């Protein structure tokens, strides 16, 4: 029985590995962009603190910008994935790109 699912298990492990690597790359990229942004705005942040801005206000300012970048990236990424899924839908025989029924059937039968 183990040998019959070895290929699926390998593919599952590879997909998990590449998913984790992609997540780490995204986190490092977001950190880099946020770090660069804060470095460029150091003078502005210093002036805000000198004028009496609290730590929480400065933190909200930076985190709001990071959240905006994250949401924008997610929207663009999801739109691109949906477009690419429709574009590549012609290569899938008997399955639509957003077909959850086949996925659920395969999971429940194994």
This prediction's pTM: 0.60
- Under-70 pLDDT residues of the chain: 92-110
* 3-class SS of residue 98: coil
Q: What pLDDT is stored for residue 95 in this prediction?
A: 65
Q: Which tens digit of pLDDT belongs to each residue from 84-102?
A: 887 777 776 666 666 666 5
Task: Give CA angle at 62 (56, 63), nearest 5°.
Answer: 85
Which ranges of 6-99 does DSSP label H, i.e. alpha helix? 6-40, 42-50, 55-87
34: closest CA among 70, 10, 6?
70
Q: What pLDDT is stored for residue 69 in this prediction?
A: 84
Domain ranges, ordered by start, for the chain: 59-110
């Amino acid at each position: 029985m183990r040998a019959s699912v070895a290929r699926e298990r390998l593919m599952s492990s590879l997909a998990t590995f590449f998913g984790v690597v992609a997540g780490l790359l995204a986190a490092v990229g977001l950190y880099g962009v946020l770090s660069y942004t804060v470095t460029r705005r150091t003078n502005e942040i210093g002036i805000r603190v000198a004028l009496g801005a609290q730590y929480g206000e400065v933190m909200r300012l930076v985190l709001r910008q990071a959240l905006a970048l994250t949401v924008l990236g997610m929207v663009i990424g999801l739109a691109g994935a949906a477009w690419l899924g429709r574009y590549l839908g012609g290569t899938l025989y008997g399955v639509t790109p957003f077909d959850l029924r086949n996925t659920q059937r395969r999971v429940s039968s194994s």
